[in-house]
Each structure stands twice: as C-alpha cells, then as structure tokens.
C-alpha cells in the first residue's frame, strides 16, 4: 500500500462466506495476521481440495506479518496456515488445542522451522509495541479464544467463534469473560461472529444434552453410534458421560477422532475416567448393548467412520438390527445430499437413525441472537464490524447491534478485500484492495482467479475431443493417420477421424482467401468444423482441441 493507514482491518476471508476466515490488522508499523482458514469446495469445483484467501496482493505489496494470532483450531481458522505460513513466516500465537492441530498439519507438510507460543486464558502478551490478551470463549472446540489486541493506534476486540453457554465446560461464560477483559480498556472496534445472526433466542447448554443421550443409550437394545465432529471434544465428553452412566464402553473409531481425543486427554480437557475405552480387539466379543461408538460422518463424509460402518468396511464390527445411529451435528448447507445417501444406507442395515429433530442431541457452537446482543453489550465497543458470515448474516448482525444501542454509522459491513480504517471519530471502508482466492489441488497451491478450476469444470461438464493432425510442409494435405482422442463425449474417435479429411478441406477452402489466413486461423476454423460435426451427430457441445504439426 502506498500509504499505510494507522489503524485498519482488512478481511481477506470470512466476510461474504462462512469459511476461510482471515483478517489483517494494520497498526502503525506492525501488522498482525489473524486466523488463516480454508473453505471446502462444492461440486462446481472438481479437483479443488481447498479454497484459501488470496495471497497475491499480500505478496505484491510485500506485506510481512509481525505475528500470526490464531483464535482456535477449526479448519475455517487454521486450514490455510500450512500454505500461507511458508510465504509469510512469523511467530504463531495460539491456544494449546489449536497449537497441537497446527503442529500436526505442519508435520504432514514437512514444515519444520516455526516458532509457536502457546497461550493461556488471560495471559497478557507483549508483541512489539502491542499488548494482546487472549481470553476463553464458549465454542465447539476446546481452547477457543477471543482476542483483545491493544495497539498504540487502537484497540481491537476480536471475538473469534463463540456462543454463550450458561453452564459451560470452559470455566466461564463468554459474556462474563468479555466484561472482565474490556474493563478499563474499551475496544475501539469489535469484530464478532455472525454465523447464527438469524436464529432467535439462545441455545441449550452442552450439558443439557447428556439427558437425551443417556435416554437413547438406556433404550437401545443394540450398539449406539454417535457421529459428530472429531474436534468437538465437549460433545465427546457428553457422550462419554452418558455412556458411563448407562454402562456402555466407548470405542473411538477413525484416525482423526482418535488423534483429537488423544490430544484432549493430554491437555486435560477430556475426562475418560470410569468409562471403559474399547479397543478394536475388544469389539467382537462385547455385548452390543454395552457398546457406544464415537466417530465422524455427521456430514455424510466419504471416508468417515460412520460411512465405513454403513458400507460394512470396518472389519471388527458390523451394524445390525437394534443398533442406533445418532447424527449429533447440524447439517452444513451443501452436505444434505450426502447425508441423505448415508442415512438411506444406514436404514438398509436395519438401524434406527436419530437426528436433532427427534432429540436434544446437538447445540450450536455459534451464538444465537441473544448471545450476540449480550456480547456487544458486554464489550461496549465504539465501532462494530460483523464478520464470519455471508453478507446477509453481516447485515443482520449489524441490525442486532443497532438494537442494543450501536449507532448505525458506527457499524461497517465489509467484504473480503475492503480496507476498514478506524479513526477516533469514524469507521469507514477506505478502499478495496484484493478480493481473490487461492486454491489447493493435487499439484500444490495456485493462484489464477479460478481459471484452472473453471476450465477443469468446463471439461467435466462438456467433455473434450483432441485432434492431432500432421500436414505436409506446403499445404493442408494430411500426412499419415490423424489421431483423435475422446474424453467424456458420446461419439467414437474413429467416426471423427473418418470425416476429418472432409472437414480439413472445408476449413482450407474457407480460410484460403482470407487476408489473415494462416495456420492459426485454419486451426480455429477446423476446431469450429469438428465441434459442429460432433454436435450434429450427438447433440453435444464439447470442447475441441486441435493440435497441428507440419513435416
């Protein structure tokens, strides 16, 4: 940037979609990169494994972080870090659970050189001229933090993802914690999680779920399988507590769930005392009504534990009549079809499927309207910037802030790429600098405004026909046999090859008198001829690629 603002925020992700959260905080000559999440692609992006905030603008402006501040360990907050960090190295500050997950990711990608400082709730930390105070918030993964970033140029309160749990596994409620942290340090600006801005009221406590889980475990005559997110350790605790009081042992199925449960035990945030943890070998001889299985698969994911159980690919345990399967999560928009396929398959196995419609077996990790309003009141910021949502969520969250006294002109609705400047008197979007994305696919990370993924999806939609022809040096006389390859188009390669001499003649005739006639215009004409011919035969408008050679 030619002129760096004194105190400004630049969301690169998470303002306009739920996923890939990342914000740059500019404070004088210090720059903080807050969170670095990933977004999962939908069916329209074949071959894309992850979508990340764009990093080309940061690179071209030579922006270097003073530090990385990571609020918690969910994928939409850390999933991009292994790809950004090597390009933008700086010390990473985060909580214990997130640190363990980041370390595992770095190990997978052989990133060895990094400095990580593990934070505790309330631990005031000086980074350069800035003081950062991380504080516990209630959320669906342990050690979720909000941040008070107290710079010489302004004070930011970043909530991270949160809800208010009236009786939390975390020691304190989010709103109480915010009140304590901002005492004598009124935030200039508050960034707050908008995920559930449309949901009225507030949700149950995580602990309220134990009763229904217990009821299900008491009543089921077979095994009880609970599918949840592997990082939702509070849910694992609820399930383990219910299993303990209904006399069931717990089997942890799947690598990810086992790893996360292991991390949680090491960090002392999961209590498995008094419950029998069942290993693979224990499962065969165990009475089914004494078994509870904890796994992933609540979103119908293909390699999840629940998917493997449904398709009979767990060698030591098979589902049977009388077993109960509990989907202990909300379906994330976009996953509905996969969940329905999986549910049908489970029903074929004779099991009873229980969702949040039938019992209280899920609470959201994100605050409903009452929580959002309570936290704005508790923080009492001068300016407000809703984040972590689609534009409609951000707008709704802005209205909620207004209801609790935030003047409309003090709220800013920013989208990815907007530079939000904050002065003593006002908050405003001063410019838009970058609004692109990076993509992770098999070959690594690329940045091309989506062109690679667009052309891949065009091929997937329309199919591809490649024609390779050798011409003599002087004219368009075909030498040898042309080669035709067909991918995903309902026509035989030989049919196209047979008519090729005709199409070549037609193309040569059409281009010979053109002023701009050359090999390039000829090849383009031939491409159109081949495409038209294929369309006339099988009504398929495919992509045609002509490769011309001369000898």
Q: Which residues bind Zn ion (CB under 5 A)?
A: 74, 76, 161
Ordered DSSP codes for 246-265: TT-EEEE-SHHHHHHHHHHH
Output 242 or 385, the one with its CB closest to Zn ion: 385
- Please say which residue, 232 or 304, places its beta carbon nearer to Zn ion: 232
- Sign of the CA dihedral with 475 first, then 479, 481, and 483 last: negative
CB of 17 to Zn ion, least distance (A): 11
CA distance 22 to 35: 5
Supply the minimum distance, in Å, between the C-beta of residue 229 and Zn ion: 10
Shortest Å distance, C-beta 77 to Zn ion: 6
For residue 178, the minimal CB distance to Zn ion (Å) is 17
- Of the pair 161, 175, the CB lying nearest Zn ion is at 161
Least distance (Å) between residue 508 CB and Zn ion: 60
Using CA atoms, how far apart are residues 541 and 159, in angstroms rounded to an integer?
A: 50
Are the beta carbons of 157 and 148 closer than 8 angstroms? yes
367 or 381: CB nearest Zn ion: 367
C-alpha span between 306 and 320 (Å, rounded)? 14
Rg of the chain in Å (alpha carbons)? 28
In sequence order, what are the residues at sequence separation of 6 or more whose Cβ sits closer than 8 angstroms to the Cβ of residue 100?
73, 263, 266, 267
Q: Can you read off the two tokens belonging to residue 403?
A: 């209801």
- Write out the two tokens for 360: 């209280």
Q: How far is the CB of 37 from Zn ion (least distance, A)?
A: 7
Measured from the CB of residue 432, what is the shortest distance to Zn ion in angstroms? 23
74 versus 143: smaller Cβ distance to Zn ion: 74
Q: Tell me which H or E stretch contains 503.
A: helix 493-512
Token reading at 328:
């202990």
Residue 467: CB minimum distance to Zn ion, A:
48
Looking at beta carbons only, is 196 or 246 nearer to Zn ion?
196
Q: Closest approach of Cβ 539 to Zn ion, in Å?
A: 45
Residue with tokens 């350069």: 128
Q: What are the CA-CA distances from residue 468 to residues 83, 488, 493, 512 (Å)?
A: 38, 18, 12, 21
Please report, in angstroms and rounded to a whole number, the separation of the first and last CA atoms in the chain.
53
Instruction: Between 196 and 257, name the residue whose CB sits nearer to Zn ion.
Output: 196
Taken as a whole, the chain contains a residue count of 551
User: How many Cβ atoms from other residues are within 10 Å of residue 117's Cβ?
Assistant: 14
Contact 288, 223 (CB under 8 A): yes
Handedness of CA 329, 334, 339, 344 (dihedral sign): positive
Nearer to Zn ion, 30 or 76 (CB): 76
Nearer to Zn ion, 74 or 173 (CB): 74
Rounded Cα distance between 43 and 539, Å, is 24
Of the two residues 8 and 36, which places its CB atom closer to Zn ion in the complex?
A: 36
Within 10 angstroms of residue 458's Cβ, the number of other Cβ atoms is 13
Q: Which residues of 210-242 are buried (b: 16+ CB within 10 A; e: fewer)?
A: bebbbebbeebebbbbbbbbbbbbbbbbbbbbb
For Zn ion, the closer of residues 74 and 324 by Cβ is: 74
Distance (Å, whole) CA 426 – CA 409: 8
Copy the structure tokens of residue 10: 């630049």
Structure tokens given for 135: 């504080």
d(CA 155, CA 157): 7
Q: Give whichever of 196 and 272 is closer to Zn ion, judged by the CB atom.
A: 196
User: Is the CB of 74 or the CB of 251 nearer to Zn ion?
Assistant: 74
Smallest separation, CB 42 to Zn ion (Å):
18
Question: Shortest gap between Cβ of 72 and Zn ion (angstroms)?
Answer: 6
CB of 36 to Zn ion, least distance (A): 12
- Least distance CB 330 / Zn ion (angstroms): 13
Nearest partner of 293 among 248, 261, 331, judged by Cα: 248
């Amino acid at each position: 940037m030619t002129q760096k603002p004194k105190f400004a925020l630049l969301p690169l992700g998470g303002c306009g979609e739920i996923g890939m959260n990342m914000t740059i905080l500019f404070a004088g000559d210090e720059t903080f990169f807050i969170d670095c999440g990933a977004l999962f692609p939908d069916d329209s992006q074949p071959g894309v494994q992850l979508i990340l905030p764009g990093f080309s603008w940061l690179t071209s402006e030579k922006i270097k972080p003073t530090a990385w501040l990571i609020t918690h360990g969910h994928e939409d907050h850390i999933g991009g870090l292994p790809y950004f960090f090597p390009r933008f190295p700086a010390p990473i500050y985060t909580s214990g659970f997130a640190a363990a997950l980041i370390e595992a990711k770095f190990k997978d990608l052989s990133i060895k050189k990094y400095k990580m400082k593990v934070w505790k709730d309330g631990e005031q930390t000086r980074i350069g001229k800035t003081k950062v105070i991380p504080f516990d918030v209630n959320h669906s993964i342990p050690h979720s933090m909000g941040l008070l970033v107290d710079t010489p140029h302004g004070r930011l309160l970043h909530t991270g993802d949160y809800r208010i749990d009236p009786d939390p596994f975390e020691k304190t409620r989010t709103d109480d914690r915010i009140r304590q942290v901002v005492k004598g340090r009124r935030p200039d600006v508050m960034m707050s999680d908008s995920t559930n801005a449309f949901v009225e009221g507030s949700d149950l406590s995580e602990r309220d779920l134990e009763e229904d889980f217990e009821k299900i475990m008491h009543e089921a005559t077979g095994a009880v399988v609970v599918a949840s997110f592997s990082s939702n350790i509070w849910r694992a605790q609820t399930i383990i507590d219910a299993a303990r009081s209904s006399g069931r042992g717990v089997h942890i199925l799947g690598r990810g769930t086992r790893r996360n449960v292991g991390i949680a035990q090491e960090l002392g945030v999961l209590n498995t005392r008094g419950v029998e943890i069942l290993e693979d070998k224990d499962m065969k001889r165990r009475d089914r009504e004494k078994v509870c299985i904890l796994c992933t698969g609540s979103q119908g994911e293909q390699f999840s534990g629940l998917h493997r159980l449904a398709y009979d690919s767990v060698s030591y345990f098979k589902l049977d009549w009388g077993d109960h399967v509990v989907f202990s999560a909300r379906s994330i928009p976009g996953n509905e079809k996969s969940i329905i396929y999986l549910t049908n398959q489970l029903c074929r196995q004779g099991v009873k499927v229980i969702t949040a419609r039938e019992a209280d077996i899920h609470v959201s990790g994100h605050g409903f309207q009452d929580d959002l309003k309570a936290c704005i009141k508790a923080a009492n910021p001068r300016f407000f910037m809703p984040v972590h949502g689609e534009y409609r969520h951000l707008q709704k969250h802005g209205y909620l802030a207004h209801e609790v006294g935030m003047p409309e002109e003090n709220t800013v609705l920013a989208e990815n790429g907007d530079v939000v400047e904050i002065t003593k008197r006002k908050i405003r979007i001063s410019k838009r600098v970058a609004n692109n994305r990076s993509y992770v696919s098999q070959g690594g990370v690329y940045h091309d405004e989506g062109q690679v993924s667009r052309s891949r999806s065009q091929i997937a939609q329309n199919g591809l026909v490649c024609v390779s022809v050798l011409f003599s040096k002087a004219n368009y006389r075909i030498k040898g046999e042309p080669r035709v390859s067909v991918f995903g188009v309902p026509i035989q390669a030989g049919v196209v090859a047979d008519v090729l001499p005709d199409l070549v003649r037609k193309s040569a005739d059409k281009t010979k008198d053109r002023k701009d006639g050359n090999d390039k215009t000829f090849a383009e004409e031939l491409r159109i001829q081949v495409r038209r011919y294929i369309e006339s035969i099988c009504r398929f408008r495919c992509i045609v690629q002509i490769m011309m050679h001369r000898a």
